[in-house]
């Protein structure tokens, strides 16, 4: 009697992909002409990109660029915007930015002027290939 053939399974195939991982990178251009980059790696589409402990002064942000990379399928999403107030007399403690794929919210801690930034990727970036069974 013959023994069965051992077939190794590969979990990295397109029809059975691993969980998605996302690389979030924000580049902040500050009013004193310096740049600050913050990078986070996560398995979710939501991340707290800037924390109070990063010591980013809310009032010093001039503009920003965010790049989000789905590492599983190498799809990139980009967004840039200015951050300056149009009305310098009005004090803002919260700003939101969005397009069809990315939602960002910046909030200022009123005690120390440091900012927090939450980012959410709203894109449908499924990397699954659907295969129908054959007709028998």
75-86: pLDDT as tens digits: 888 877 876 654
Q: What is the pLDDT of residues 102-131, one digit of tens each?
A: 899 999 998 999 999 999 988 765 544 444
Q: Is residue 34 domain-resident? A: yes
Percent of the chain at pLDDT > 70 equals 70
Q: Is residue 15 domain-resident? A: no
Structural domains counted in the chain: 1
Q: How confident is the model at residue 72 (pLDDT cuts 50, 70, 90)?
A: confident
Q: Is residue 5 domain-resident? A: no
Rounded to a whole number of angstroms, the CA Rg of the chain reads 21
Report how far residue 3's alpha carbon sits from residue 14's, in angstroms, rounded to the nearest whole number. Answer: 30
Asked if the model's pLDDT at residue 36 lies above 90, the reply is yes
CA-to-CA dists, residue 2 to 5, 9, 50, 80, angstroms: 9, 21, 61, 64
Q: pLDDT value at position 130?
A: 46
Q: pLDDT value at position 90?
A: 55
Q: Is residue 3 domain-resident? A: no
Q: Is residue 117 domain-resident? A: yes
Q: Is residue 106 domain-resident? A: yes
Asked if the model's pLDDT at residue 31 lies above 70, the reply is yes
Domain extent for 83:
22-121
Token digits for 129? 């290939």
Q: Is residue 11 domain-resident? A: no
Q: What is the pLDDT of residues 10-28, one digit of tens each?
A: 555 444 445 788 999 999 9
C-beta atoms surrounding 89 within 10 Å: 5
Q: Is residue 57 domain-resident? A: yes
> Count of residues for the chain?
136
């Amino acid at each position: 009697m013959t023994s069965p053939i051992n077939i190794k399974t590969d979990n990295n195939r397109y029809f059975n992909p691993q969980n998605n991982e996302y690389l979030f990178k924000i580049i902040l251009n500050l009013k004193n002409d310096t740049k600050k980059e913050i990078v986070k790696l996560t398995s979710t589409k939501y991340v707290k990109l800037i924390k109070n402990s990063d010591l980013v002064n809310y009032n010093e942000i001039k503009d920003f660029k965010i790049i989000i990379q789905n590492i599983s399928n190498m799809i990139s999403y980009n967004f840039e915007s200015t951050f300056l107030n149009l009305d310098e007399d009005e004090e803002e403690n919260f700003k939101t930015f969005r397009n069809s794929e990315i939602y960002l919210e910046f909030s200022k801690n009123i005690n120390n002027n440091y900012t927090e930034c939450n980012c959410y990727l709203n894109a449908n970036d499924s990397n699954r290939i659907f295969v129908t069974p054959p007709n028998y």
